[in-house]
Amino acid sequence: MSALAARLADLAREDGPALYEARGDRALRWSDLAAEAAGWQAVLGEDPATVAVAVADPLGFAACWLGLLAAGATVAPLEPGLPAGALEKDVADLGATAVVTDRADLDLPVLRPVSRAASELDVTGPPGRVLLRSSGTTGPRKQILLSEDRLLHTAGAVARHHGLGPGERGLCPLPLFHVNAEVVGLLAAVVAGSELVLDDRFHRDLWAVAARHRVTWVNAVPAVIAILAQGGVGTPPPSVRFVRSASAPLADPVLERFESLTGLPVVETYGMTEAASQICANPVAGPRKPGSVGLPVEVDLRVVDEADEDCAAEVVGRVRIRGAGVVTGPLPGGWVDTGDLGRLDADGYLFLTGRVDDVINRGGEKVFPGDVEAVLLGDGEVLEAVVVARPDEVLGSVPVAYVVGRGADAAALAAALRRRADRDLARFRRPAAVHVVADLPHGPTGKVSRSAVRALAGELDAAALASA
């Protein structure tokens, strides 16, 4: 039985508002979404296949994604703005038999739902699944299959932790083909019976949109919060009670600037695709701990050493998880190794220190990039900072920093950051070089692609050798 279909049917009987277009007047009611699901059931029949979704319109994507999932399909959401050839390759790689799209340039079988009433939705059909791929910002992309029960469990945990319910209205300016927007946005709204405003991407008039729609919370990422923390983009309306941050670490100086400027709390969280999004979150009403991604939320979590023994409080180790929303892992007991390093404090709050693959071994000393990045971001002229390893003939590797400034003189900013590093960092943690760049490579969720930055570091090294 499809629990999602049953929930949509229940909400359709109440027939309240569900989804809103951020930059227009269109809206969908729960009855519209239940009718969409019934239409997809009629198309797919009793043996739904894998269907790719490449829809740029946020309301259109939300309706078909929810409808297909409730109809029992395996849904493979894809980035709709990819070149036609790349999108067609993704569809083939995922094994999709057809695509739902609002594009006309794809050489693929296209599906469309038929017209059905919400009352025709069959809740006895099979549960659906979502076929996702990891973001690829830290390494090769992996295919991850999430069952409906895992998705709904995590969505319920999100709704309960954040106090979502019928009186709440979220604003999601994040890409809908990513697990965050799908679970924290769409499915959490379904579970909670709350409302959601969907935007195609982040725009600098976010606060004006939030005011027009009387938004009560915002689903954001650190890149968005960093821009809002700079000011000059209006002020948040009194209806907003918190901003949620996910997808990448949020530097303490950015959090402090944002909260000081807006008066709004930032609820920093931690998640991954294998956990259907959320793993940890700071309490909405506190205590929130700067630098921490919060407490595990309906997830089992361990920090272990190299012998697979639990680390003592404040000792850094590998983060492992399991739970009803997490894919079954290959380790004994079904544990999943997240690939992240972190430490738990005495209260059980998790502090991440970096990815296992990102740790820089400088002559035997371990450098965690996040520690260095936090110091660089403490300069108000820095918008973004990322630290990666550069090969070194003597030390093996050394940290190098790439920063995006607010427009100040690049040489002066680099010199100021070197002085800051000399003052605030142990010698082995100081960047061997600070490069001020116009921009950094990002993934679709706004997370900096460290693999691309490493490639940039290699290009700079090659250019320096060629000119020597």
- Evaluate if residue 466 carries a pLDDT over 50: no
Q: Which of 2-6, 212-216, 285-289 has the lowest mean pLDDT?
A: 285-289
- Evaluate if residue 446 carries a pLDDT over 80: no
- Evaluate if residue 255 carries a pLDDT over 70: yes
Confidence of residue 393 (pLDDT cuts 50, 70, 90): confident
pLDDT tens column, 261-282: 999 999 999 999 999 999 999 9
What is the residue type of 125? G
Question: What span, in angstroms and rounded, lies between the C-alpha atoms of 38 and 42?
Answer: 6
pLDDT at 448: 84
pLDDT tens column, 53-95: 999 999 999 999 999 999 999 999 999 999 999 999 999 999 9
pLDDT tens column, 11-49: 999 899 999 999 999 999 999 999 999 999 999 987 778
Q: Which of 128-137, 175-184, 424-433 has the lowest mean pLDDT?
A: 128-137
pLDDT at 34: 98
CATH 3.30.300.30 fits 359-467, yes or no: yes
Question: What span, in angstroms and rounded, lies between the C-alpha atoms of 293 and 281?
Answer: 6
pLDDT at 460: 59
Q: Order the strands of the 396-405 sheet from edge to edge.
A: 382-392, 396-405, 433-436
Asked whether 247 and 221 are in contact (CB, 8 A), the reply is yes
Higher pLDDT, 223 or 172: 172
Confidence of residue 463 (pLDDT cuts 50, 70, 90): very low
Higher pLDDT, 136 or 204: 204
pLDDT tens column, 365-385: 888 888 899 899 888 889 889
- Evaluate if residue 157 carries a pLDDT over 90: yes
- Evaluate if residue 331 carries a pLDDT over 60: yes
pLDDT at 468: 33
- Evaluate if residue 143 carries a pLDDT over 70: yes
What is the residue type of 147? S
- Evaluate if residue 113 carries a pLDDT over 80: yes
Share of the chain above pLDDT 70, in %: 96
Domain residue spans of the chain = 3-216, 359-467
Confidence of residue 335 (pLDDT cuts 50, 70, 90): very high
Domain 3-216 CATH class label: alpha beta
pLDDT at 465: 38
Span 408-435, average pLDDT: 92
Confidence of residue 403 (pLDDT cuts 50, 70, 90): very high
pLDDT tens column, 358-367: 889 898 888 8
Span 416-429, average pLDDT: 93
pLDDT at 136: 52
- Evaluate if residue 206 carries a pLDDT over 90: yes
pLDDT at 462: 47
Give the chain's mean pLDDT.
92
